[in-house]
Amino acid sequence: MRRRNFISLSLLFLGGSLLGHIATKRQLTTISAGLTEGFTHATENIRLDRLSHNLLLKMLNGQLSDDDRIQLTRELIVPNCHLYIPDNQGRHFGRPGFFRVTP
């Protein structure tokens, strides 16, 4: 009886996992399709390597919310501030040249 229950539960778990896997795969397929359609183009020249998977997934699904603002600042805005501050990576707090005039 116990063995039968164990086998039944195991089959149920495996079935659930399989369904979950299929669902995730479908989602990823959808995301992947989205990426190919526009996201790659939209993020051209933008550093996303600091962006966490969680934020990336939210962004891909258009679900960023107010709770994500600080994390977005740290992981997306700051790493990309070179877009509006020339030579940003060449300057660090406490080193000469922090303030300068560029041609």
Partner 1 sequence: MTGQDIHAGTLIIGNGFAGRTVAHVLQDECLIVERGEKFDIFEMRQRYLEMDQGINRNTRLRDIYKSRHDFNVPEDLGGDSSSEYILIDGGCSNHWGGLSFRLSDHAFKQSDDDFSWPFSLSQLRPYYRRAEQLMRLCADERDPEQRNPIALIEGAGKWHDALAGYFPAAYLGAQSHNLSLNDTSAHGAERQGRCAGAGECEICPLDAKTRARHIPSAAPIINSTMVDRLLFEGNRAVKVLCHTEHGPVSITFDKVVVAAHGVESLKLLVKSNLPPATPRDLLGHHYQDHAVAELVCILPGVSIPFFEASTHTQVVIPELSGVHADIEYTTIALMMPPHESAIAAALDLNKLNQWKLHDAIMETGSLLCLYVLLEAPPHWDLSMSYVNGKFSVDFSNYHRNKMRYDEIVTIIHSRLKALGAIPLQAIARKHYLHKVGTHHLVGMLGMGHGRRAVAGPDFRLKGTDNVFIAGSSLFPRCGSRNPTLTIVALALMLGEQLRGRAMGHSAGNP
Query: Residue 43 burial by CB count (10 A; 0-12/13-18/19+): exposed, middle or buried?
Result: middle
The footprint of partner 1 on residues 37-66 (CB under 8 A) is: 38-39, 42-43, 45-46, 59, 62-66
Of 2, 4, 53, 95, the one binding partner 1 (CB under 8 A) is 95
Work out whether 98 is an interface residue with partner 1 (CB under 8 A). yes
Q: What is the DSSP letter of 98?
A: S
Work out whether 20 is an interface residue with partner 1 (CB under 8 A). no
Name the minimum Å distance from CB 30 to partner 1. 15
Q: Which residues contact 23 (CB under 8 A, 6 or more apart)?
A: none
Work out whether 96 is an interface residue with partner 1 (CB under 8 A). yes
Question: Within a 13 Å sphere around the CA of 46, how many CA atoms are in the beta-carbon half?
Answer: 12
Of 1, 5, 49, 70, the one binding partner 1 (CB under 8 A) is 70
